[in-house]
Amino acid sequence: MLKHRGFPGRLAGTDFQFTIRRANPKGVTPLTRRERFRDRKPADRRADAGFMEALWQHFGDQPFERGNLDAGRLSWLFEREVIPAEDPFDPASYDALLVIDPDAAKLSFPDIFDGLR
Q: Is the pLDDT of residue 74 over 60?
A: yes
Q: What does pTM read for this prediction?
A: 0.89
In the chain, domain spans: 48-114
Rounded to 5 degrees, φ, ψ at 16 are -75, 110
What are the beta bridge partners of residue 19? 69
Residues 44-66 have a mean pLDDT of: 94
Distance from C-alpha of 26 to C-alpha of 55, rounded to nearest angstrom: 27
Is the peptide bond prior to 63 cis by the omega test (within 30 degrees of 0)?
Answer: no
Distance from C-alpha of 4 to C-alpha of 30, rounded to nearest angstrom: 19
